[in-house]
Structure 1
């Protein structure tokens, strides 16, 4: 399939698909006329890439772990490809994600503390704020 069809099937703009190719996340074949040719499996690969990007991973990390991801929820490690540099990169990413989670938890607690202080629960809406006087 051509890039337009892949874009339609994945709902990912062609511009992003070209970017994924530039980042070596996709490797389409080229036809004689230079057009990109994608396989049906690339639909799933683009969905994986989108999910990983949405979860906050960088394209560098995605590029390194894509070879291990073959099916949803399945990881097939290949020890010969997991070099010390990749291991260190993954540990650093895990630490970065933990810091983000901790920050989000602190923000959530602050918001809940504020709501408790003003005694607003989900069953009722806060009273309207006084607006500027009219008239």
Structure 2
């Protein structure tokens, strides 16, 4: 696929895709006419990159860990610095906190929807209100 299709499928501007290429986060093939071509795996790769950037990881660390995302059982960094390890631990902890927060919000929305749907049913008995 060409850069326009990758941009469309990932919701990532072409300029940002070119930046990922410049940072060697994605490696497109080149046609004889110089056009970039991307394989199907590039869609997942771009989504991984965006997720890691959204989590606050810098591109230099993303570049180091991307190869491990394809083979999670073969993770080994010969050049892992204490800074990199600390950064990854901090990011893991931030992600875990965000997951807890999102899970709590998802559960609250589910309870609300269940209550609303229950109230919409003509045969539903009124529920007692509980304080959280």
Q: Counterpart of 2:42? A: 42
Whether the aligned pair in 2 keeps the contact of 1:61 and 1:89 (CA below 8 Å) is no
- The answer on 1:19 being equivalent to 2:1 is no
Q: Unmatched 5+ residue regions in structure 1?
A: 102-135
Q: Counterpart of 1:2? A: 2
Larger radius of gyration: 1
Displacement of 1:92: 3.0
- Equivalent residue in structure 2 for 1:86, among 80, 89, 105: 80
Q: Counterpart of 1:75? A: 72
Q: Counterpart of 1:66? A: 66
Q: Counterpart of 2:31? A: 31
Give the structure-1-normalised TM-score: 0.63
Q: Unmatched 5+ residue regions in structure 2?
A: 95-132
RMSD: 2.4
Give the structure-2-normalised TM-score: 0.64
Q: Counterpart of 2:54? A: 54
4+ runs of 1 displaced by more than 3 Å? 94-98
| Residue-pair matches, total | 96
Aligned to 1:48, what secondary structure does the other structure show? helix
Cα displacement string for residues 49-69 of structure 1 (whole angstroms, at most 9, x for unaligned residues): 000000000000000000000
Q: Counterpart of 1:123? A: none
Cα displacement string for residues 66-111 of structure 1 (whole angstroms, at most 9, x for unaligned residues): 00002xxx723343xx11x32424223146548x95xxxxxxxxxx
Aligned to 1:86, what secondary structure does the other structure show? coil
